[in-house]
Structure 1
């Protein structure tokens, strides 16, 4: 069949007049068909052929919305997301049966007329006039295509969609104008191709390829006769003829299409009769749309990718523009998600916190030096059911997270320590650090000073925790009073300024409060923020903004610009290296022992908040940083005392006993097979310290090496001083040298003389 066009050289206005049964020469009012209420219905009411030409000549044909595929860093599929499930295909990739079936049932004279079918339209208009409305369309495939373009342009705007679908004389006139243009520009084959790609077939399937996959789990090019007839029959009313929910009605409609194909000689009657005897033969594929279908618990990571797209100006100047671009889809987004790390995170979560526990956990892993977020998961999975959430517990409020984030407790103390080092304080800085004390007052801030007008006090976790302490031991034991004294000494402003340089903004987007209690973790942050901040330590003082997207290939294979990580120095290398040495001690000898990694250097800090509503472990190796939060996911939180989590009873939850092991297991799996890099360690000892001797009971101040004591001292009273191993015990034992017995000194056992060791 050829691509015949009607019109015989007539202008679009003349074609319109012919369409409406009006004499061009007369230029008469549009009343020849006795249309009802013409004066009140839009464009047609203008009445003249000239005014028809006032309609813009160019039909805007927006790119058809398609699926967007989100991939992990290795190219594996995380999820498909779409506003409209559609895969565009060429006409050659559509079964010939499908092409014939849709023309036969929707517009049998498609190849014989132009933009309009005068015979069909005149019949419809007369019947509409008698009905007093617009009950019969008789639209050609070209006109239907134009209508679908209007619907597509409306996107997800319900009012705009309703307007585009409204059965009115005005819309019909506008539809006609553009149909004439489309016929001239595209021709029959391209119109048919576009029509089959844009049309809705029900069950969330837009376009013939998506419909073929949905109902028969095959490509459109492989559709058989009876399958093509079924799909062609859906177009008139996808819900009424839905073969999934109304199979008998759908079969009757299919058989009508088959018979029509026989009548127009597309197939023989024998072929039609044979096809009618066949069952529907459905092989339905359930639609898998959105981040809710993401694999390995990556739904929240997937959703964060969407949030990045909708919030970053690199994808469009306004949110509306970015939203439209996202809805159009047709993109392939390769992300930073490491599938091995993600699986490790999910396995660790499932091992330690159950989905139906009264509390939840959230874990985020970030790569130091690149800002790449390689894993993100939580114990309450992505969804709308019981014990499921759509709130991303790892994210800030603006990116789909909780309203205020979570207080971080003692995991903020390293920020204060780093700020103090930047201000010139030494890592062996000592404070009295009593068990309980008043907050010092006044304390300088960025905009003045803070005064303890209410007489607020602070105390340590245990009554036995009494100073004086140096910074290393204060971090290892998480001494509250030490860090309150430290922040009061250097002022709050250096701490908040460093926090900002490390990417630490409150989860609700508000500024940090200028108060000394900041050092105890009184502000709410997200796990993503904390992981990124600690990655600064791992990266020797350089903070890199977190990124989720590696690349985007847009429709047509065009590479799109994506946001890049921005890396800036937050602190000196010396400060970062010193902090790494200090925090390594937390994992090796302090509160974070349960989080230690086998055969791999690591550092980190535990944290527990007031009333135990949140517990944290934030830690890192030189090549990976991670934050783990455990707590109540609701606004009121959960006091984690006398509670069972992951099948384990806790009288009190600490950062070390639940978040710590989660971090350890998640990091172990994520780092498997990667090099065990080491930190740049910094010796931390007080050069002014002098070592006193011991008497026979391990006390006193005899010269070093004299009479180390037959009973010996048990504990090392000088933890901040590094003692060379060759002077501990032995013939010249520093402490523990004895005379005739087996001395047990503060630094070792000795069986030697009393030569001792002289301090500088």
Structure 2
């Protein structure tokens, strides 16, 4: 940087005179006449010097806004976002042709005059005096740079931008005062560097590096003479001389710049003629800004990262402070997104649910023990074109993070009730009568010493009339028996359940508190997939709940320097004992082995999970996990209007949708790909004794007798396989009058058809 010059005790007006090469008296005349402030500011000629000296002379230069890169966990680019697309480069990385072209066309005497070009001022003065207004400017590059600083400081505030660019005498005087300061402190080369990095070149490109990439797909250091002349010509009017939209007008302007470069001796006339005859040679790179450009379907995750930044106090005390940093940009954000898991999740979604389907799906995967979000996707693409099925509503997250009001999780909430019961000392062998239908027990203890009372005689029922107890916890969980879990929560009370939910990070998507009602056991409270995936991750990590995180690290580039920013950390706490978690893992392992979630089972590794289907089938879920990863899949209508009955999803017709039949396979395929090549760890299982055979002479291991053993395909049995086979997951019960044995797990058999149903 050039050595700083001293004013030698001179006032700003005397400095102005010095730079202009005129006397102090001429400086006073400049303040009062050449910058005609007498009428506009009420400055008498006598007081012009004092008033000019009283203006502040400190130019607070804001850091130039730059593009932000959002990266996955391996450093690959997910998306590029920016308020203003800019990459700051030093003068040595800007083509000499570019430096000469901008000076030639904008301020050919730049290296000869001071902050103000007196000749230009006097020329403009005559015209302005005749017109009675500022109709012609005489701004030097230094003054233009100062004005651009005002614009940059205004950001996206239209009022501030208007104030920064309005043609008033007051602004021109302030601009002059600050231009003198800039010349004094920076010197010509630094001013030129700053100017080329701050100015707007059209097509969303701020600064010469972004402009060079936009129009020619090359770095600014590689610009040739005609390319440099084109960019220099754009500055005067980016819309009028836009080469993308008006090549002819841009060519004329480029040639004017080339001619001017020849006139001032920067190039020869022969060089100018040759360059003028050349085509524009555009190689346009379209602006790629925002989460809409995200790869591998990660637009919603990208949007979630933005929401985290704007909402977390670690990035600033107020939302305005955080927004200022975000818009300033220059950030490199390394996220937790695992490209393998993300690609697998999005591919599974694409395979099972079409964008054009009446319903949508959303899926999220988190890492147990760390809270890292490794995948987030949905079937409705990220964007604003509603006709194309696009949306910016993130179906995986809570309302305050860009999501909706959430969705009832159905029976996926039951393991939380089981965890609360086990943590309170209830044995996993606990048995309840679990009738097909019953009234909600009353009263039931709630938080704060209050009781929930069934004043209305509300009733609940199991999915099918054949679901009649007694059941123990293992069986009731595998078969998702509603009346068992309502009896369980009525026994232990509602408060332990909501407290356990709180420890596991389960909160309503709309921000309201969980309701103090026993029906919470059946999943009536709206939640998000991210919430459920994070909650189940606590089971996988043997009782440790970790708050979800999306950001690993952030560095911010300001000018040519970088610094690290503090980022939110996951907070891990014990939600339940290891024994309780191990017991839940054993229970939910049974769900995927021989319960309602067999279609979600993974062939080569331990897995556990729970199905969920809401009343009227507005939503269906599968939430499951391995020791490595936990994931939640939701399928339904975001508007809560389309029941999933007689519906085609992903090209497959369904009479009725169940958690095991649609979300389950999505989860299976998603997790299989995400876990490929990863260690196949095992759960720490506990021994849960099977309940003794109860009434009706049924053998639940083999599905013999009146249960008929129906699973997906029903089973054989005297009048039973055909009557109630296939209740689980809505399979068709095949059986008949030829008797025989039904296999409960495999559900093999043949004969007549029986009704389907659900148990989740």
In the TM superposition, 1:453-492 aligns within 5 A as 453-492=455-494
Residue in structure 2 matched with residue 545 of structure 1 by the alignment: 547
- The DSSP-based 3-state class of the residue aligned with 2:110 is coil
Is 1:159–2:164 an aligned residue pair?
no
Matched, 1:554 2:556: yes
Cα distance in 1 for partners of 2:48, 2:127 equals: 23
Alpha-carbon distance in 1 for matches of 2:244, 2:196? 21
Once residues 30 and 629 of structure 2 are traced to their aligned partners in structure 1, the CA distance between those partners, rounded to angstroms, is 77
Aligned counterparts of 1:211 and 1:612: Cα–Cα separation in 2: 53
- From 681, 702, 707, the counterpart of 2:685: 681
Query: Displacement, 1:474?
Result: 0.8
Matches within 5 A, 1:539-618: 539-555=541-557, 556-618=561-623
Q: Please say if 1:643 is aligned against 2:647.
A: yes
1:82-115 deviation per Cα after TM superposition (whole angstroms, max 9, x unaligned): 1100011111111110000000000000000111
Q: Map of 1:35-114 to 2, 5 A cutoff?
A: 35=36, 38-41=38-41, 47-114=47-114
Given the superposition, is the C-alpha separation of residues 413 and 46 from structure 1 closer, same or farther in structure 2, using an over 3 Å criterion? farther
What is the distance in 1 between the residues matched to 2:685 and 2:620? 28
Deviation at 1:668, TM superposition (A): 0.2
Distance 1:690 1:611, change over 3 A: closer
The aligned residue for residue 247 of structure 2 is: 247
Provide the C-alpha distance between the structure 2 equivalents of 1:34 and 1:109, rounded to a whole number of angstroms.
20
Seen in structure 2, the aligned counterparts of structure 1 residues 460 and 429 have a Cα distance that, compared at 3 Å, is same
Structure 1 equivalent of residue 726 of structure 2: none
- Tell me, yes or no, if structure 1 residue 392 matches structure 2 residue 397: no
* Contiguous gaps of at least 5 residues in structure 1: 701-707, 720-742, 748-760
Asked whether the equivalents of residues 5 and 114 of structure 1 are also in contact (C-alpha less than 8 Å), the reply is no
Q: How does 1:459-538 map to 2 (within 5 A)?
A: 459-538=461-540
Q: Deviation per CA, 1:700-742, whole angstroms, max 9, x where unpaired?
A: 9xxxxxxx9xxx993699x9xxxxxxxxxxxxxxxxxxxxxxx
Give the whole-Å Cα distance in 2 for the aligned partners of 1:672 and 1:328: 39
Aligned length: 703
Aligned to 2:626: 621
Distance across 2 between alignment mates of 1:236 and 1:623: 58
Change (3 A) 1:539 1:128: same
Tell me the SS of whatever aligns to 2:498.
Answer: helix
Q: Secondary structure at the match of 1:528?
A: helix
Aligned mates of 1:344, 1:467 — CA distance in 2: 40
Whether the 8 Å CA contact 2:34–2:121 is kept in 1: the answer is no
Name the CA distance, whole Å, in 2 between partners of 1:205 and 1:576: 54
Contact 1:214–1:284 (8 Å) recurs in 2: yes
CA drift at 1:161: 1.1
Distance 1:344 1:15 in 2: 67
Where do residues 18-37 of structure 1 align in structure 2 (5 Å cutoff)? 24=25, 31-33=32-34, 35=36
Structure 2 equivalent of residue 356 of structure 1: 356
Alignment of 1:119-134 (within 5 A): 119-134=119-134
In structure 2, the CA distance between the partners of 1:520 and 1:116, relative to structure 1 (3 Å rule), is same
SS of residue paired to 1:475: helix
Is the 1:584–1:603 Cα contact (8 Å) retained in structure 2? yes
**For residues 421-458 of structure 1, what are the alpha-carbon distances to aligned partners after superposition, in whole Å with 9 as ceiling and x for unaligned?**
11111101111111111111111111311111121111
Choose 1 or 2 for highest CA Rg.
1
Distance, in Å, in 1 between the alignment partners of 2:95 and 2:76 is: 30
Partner of 2:441: 440
Q: Contact conserved, 2:619 with 2:636, CA < 8 A, in 1?
A: yes
User: Per-residue deviation at 1:45?
Assistant: 10
Structure 1 residue 157 displacement after superposition: 1.1
Conserved 8 A contact 2:697-2:705 = no
Check whether the contact 2:40–2:169 (CA below 8 A) recurs between aligned residues: no
State the Cα distance separating 1:136 from its structure 2 match.
1.2
SS of 1:238's partner is: coil
Q: Classify 1:128/1:477 alpha carbon distance in 2 versus 1 (closer, same or farther; 3 Å).
A: same
Provide the rounded CA distance (Å) in 2 between the counterparts of 1:5 and 1:268.
Answer: 35
User: What's the secondary structure of 1:406's corresponding residue?
Assistant: coil
In structure 2, do the counterparts of structure 1 residues 441 and 143 end up closer, same or farther at CA, with 3 Å as the change threshold?
A: same
Q: 2:4, 2:185 within 8 Å by CA — same for their partners in 1?
A: no
Change (3 A) 1:23 1:408: same
Deviations 1:395-445 (A, max 9, x none): 11111101x111111100110010011111110111111111111111111
* CA distance 1:96–1:744, shift in 2 (3 Å): closer
- Going from structure 1 to structure 2, the CA distance change for 1:11 and 1:499 (only over 3 Å counts) comes to same
* Cα distance in 2 for residues equivalent to 1:309 and 1:542: 25
Instruction: Quote the offset at 1:47 in angstroms.
Output: 4.8
C-alpha distance in 2 between matches for 1:350 and 1:713: 36
Q: 1:536 to 1:46 in 2, by over 3 A?
A: farther
Residue in 1 aligned with 2:704?
714
Residue segments in structure 2 that go unaligned for 5+ positions in a row = 710-739, 745-760
SS of residue paired to 2:471: coil
Counterparts of 1:257 and 1:4, CA distance in 2: 32
Cα shift at 1:14: 2.6
Specify the SS of the correspondent of 2:147. helix
Q: Which residue of 1 aligns with 2:373?
A: 373
**Alpha-carbon distance between aligned partners in 1 of 2:23 and 2:33, rounded to the nearest angstrom:** 6
Distance 1:542 1:362 in 2: 25
Q: How much has 1:16 moved relative to structure 2?
A: 4.8
- TM-score (norm. length: structure 2): 0.88
2:703 and 2:530 mapped to 1: Cα distance? Answer: 46
Deviates more, 1:123-132 or 1:76-85: 123-132
Distance 1:29 1:285, change over 3 A: closer
What is the DSSP-based 3-state SS (H/G/I as helix, E as strand, rest coil) of the residue aligned with 1:144? helix
